[in-house]
Structure 1
């Protein structure tokens, strides 16, 4: 049985980042196991673009936001690949549409309070100011917004491939089409069983997203995770110059529904998604068919607020969110088996992926994490109390 210092289960966004960080320290003593092919479209870490931003409304994420930019810069410096593109970013709140809804700190005041605590520059804009600067938007009176100049795009597909390439450059081995059937603590180490063979490791990082509970079942661990099927739509706008990354920011729109959008990037098309709008499913039962209700909802939003952003639908594609009841990350070791590290991104981790890879390496190598992650402990009430209510940010 081959022995490795560390094995990473799952080579998507978080797993590939952890693989790279571990290989940079351990060299050829690191193995990555991917149940599908690298770059597959069955999970959460696919497609061209994710929003990266300092705009966080909760302090546990604001504390990681600036270090995440630094972590991506390290990856870019080593690889000489461009992964982050700054476009500036808007958070827009339709206060009338959200009147009477419980939004917690997920409003303009919540964002600005966290900005102030962390010394982040920002601008508060009303509807007229947004439309004067970006006439692509059509906004009603009473809409408020904040603008932060460092927001932008992380190229997810390119970042995953870069993490994989750098991990290999440092000596890591990757085995594709190797679904993990079980991980079994074995003294101070772990035995990892795939469909074809078994491996032994000192430490294992499980970054299996929608398949997390299947991988952890042999450890007697089942986490209260909800899998949602989400989707994004690309529009072949004929107005390319108006929606170039140099002229149009990434945005989030909090109204009756929460939308997010991108300038033309990756495809010759704009991109729109809805946060937490999907139906519950499982990794096995999900489909790849778009939900026509949400396609129509997206089209109505575009027609009302960004009419030139739209155009013929290039395509709509689906992905999975795997979400704990409080919609916070899981970044921790198993209490009874500290040689096993568990990572879950709760459907919103990609902007932090390069940093999370480093934090997972810290956990796997028995170091205190370089940044605070107490809020993401695996023994918190949201994961241990069966009566804990689901409180997704919708």
Structure 2
């Protein structure tokens, strides 16, 4: 058997960030295990772009938003690589469409109340002011928008690679194509069972996302997680200048469906996705074929509200969301086995990844987390009460 001080299982967004922060603290003796190749497209952390924003509707996330920006600044300073691009960001609520759809409200007032509490600057715009400022949009008149200047893009694929490189520079070892079949408490440590044999570790961080319950099977713990197949589409717009990052912000559109979009970035194309609503699946049974219903829905939204944003479809690509019943993160030690730390991003963690890497390091090294994560325990009712209803935010 080989030995390690800490093993990180899964090297996507959260795992690669934890690997770097652990190596920065401990140096050699930190081991990262990835069952596929680095940068694979089977999970949740692929692709060029994720939205980063201070715009949070829940205080537990707002408390982490500014520290997340600071954590990304630290990674950029150490690596010399640009990871965050500020574009400004819009939250647009089509109130008429949401009323007609009887959609659960995540309204503008919910965001502004949290902004006011945390001292974040913002602007409120009615439909006319929105179009006056960004004539790329077409609106019906019932829309209200919130603009926050610090929103932007985190380059997810690049950030993962940067975290891996920085971890190696600090002495971490990485093994790819190494599937973890189980993690099992072994005294005060953990036995990590892999294709290549068993590794004994003092601590383990499980950042396996859709594979979490497979990895945890040896602990006797199974979390109530739903795996959803989501997708995005890139459009080869011919109007590149209009949708350059300096002229068009990232946006979220809350209407009958909830869409999110990006300026031209990563590809010579714009990008549109829908938050939540994908088919339930599993990590092993999921399809990689995009859903034609969603393709059509995206195209209809673009035609109606952003006609010059569209163009020939460059490609559509799927990814996985792994979601607890309350759609909140899991960042915690297992109560019965505190030498095992579990991270679940719930489909919306990437903007916080650099910060979460440090929080997972705190947990693994038996330190008090540097920022509040009490809302994300593994003992909350959403994870322990079988009758707790699924309440995904839409």
| TM-score normalised to structure 2 length | 0.99
Residue in structure 2 matched with residue 336 of structure 1 by the alignment = 336
Residue in structure 2 matched with residue 388 of structure 1 by the alignment = 388
- 1:142 aligned onto 2:142: yes
CA distance in 2, matches of 1:140, 1:371: 42
Helix, strand or coil at the partner of 2:115: helix
Q: Superposed, which structure 2 residues align to 1:257-336 within 5 Å?
A: 257-336=257-336
Deviation at 1:241, TM superposition (A): 0.2
Residue in structure 1 matched with residue 32 of structure 2 by the alignment = 32
Alignment RMSD? 0.6
CA distance in 2, matches of 1:102, 1:198: 49
Helix, strand or coil at the partner of 1:198: strand
Q: Superposed, which structure 2 residues align to 1:45-124 within 5 Å?
A: 45-99=45-99, 101-104=102-105, 106-124=106-124
Q: Superposed, which structure 2 residues align to 1:333-372 within 5 Å?
A: 333-372=333-372
Count of matched residue positions in the alignment of Structure 1 and Structure 2: 393
**Which aligned segments of 4 or more residues in structure 1 are displaced greater than 3 angstroms?**
none
Deviation at 1:140, TM superposition (A): 1.3
Residue in structure 2 matched with residue 379 of structure 1 by the alignment = 379
Cα deviation, 1:160-189, whole Å, max 9, x if unaligned, reads: 000000000000000000010111111110
CA distance in 1, matches of 2:350, 2:139: 29
Residue in structure 1 matched with residue 170 of structure 2 by the alignment = 170
Deviation at 1:102, TM superposition (A): 4.9
Deviation at 1:310, TM superposition (A): 0.1
Deviation at 1:128, TM superposition (A): 0.7
CA distance in 2, matches of 1:318, 1:3: 36
CA distance in 2, matches of 1:132, 1:257: 24
Unpaired runs of 5+ residues, structure 2, are none
CA distance in 1, matches of 2:269, 2:127: 25
Unpaired runs of 5+ residues, structure 1, are none
CA distance in 2, matches of 1:59, 1:377: 16
Cα deviation, 1:174-215, whole Å, max 9, x if unaligned, reads: 000001011111111001010121111110000000000000
CA distance in 1, matches of 2:267, 2:306: 18
Deviation at 1:29, TM superposition (A): 1.1
Deviation at 1:277, TM superposition (A): 2.3
Cα deviation, 1:357-376, whole Å, max 9, x if unaligned, reads: 00000000000000000000
Helix, strand or coil at the partner of 1:228: strand
Contact kept? 2:3, 2:201, Cα under 8 Å: yes
Residue in structure 1 matched with residue 159 of structure 2 by the alignment = 159
Residue in structure 1 matched with residue 209 of structure 2 by the alignment = 209
CA distance in 1, matches of 2:272, 2:103: 24
Deviation at 1:321, TM superposition (A): 0.2
Q: Superposed, which structure 2 residues align to 1:183-222 within 5 Å?
A: 183-222=183-222
CA distance in 1, matches of 2:393, 2:183: 32
Deviation at 1:5, TM superposition (A): 1.1
Deviation at 1:142, TM superposition (A): 1.5
Helix, strand or coil at the partner of 2:98: coil
Deviation at 1:305, TM superposition (A): 0.2
CA distance in 1, matches of 2:285, 2:186: 33
Deviation at 1:64, TM superposition (A): 0.2
CA distance in 1, matches of 2:379, 2:112: 31
CA distance in 2, matches of 1:69, 1:14: 15
| TM-score normalised to structure 1 length | 0.99
Helix, strand or coil at the partner of 2:150: coil
Cα deviation, 1:119-139, whole Å, max 9, x if unaligned, reads: 000000001111111000001
Cα deviation, 1:211-236, whole Å, max 9, x if unaligned, reads: 00000001001000000000000000
CA distance in 1, matches of 2:88, 2:107: 19
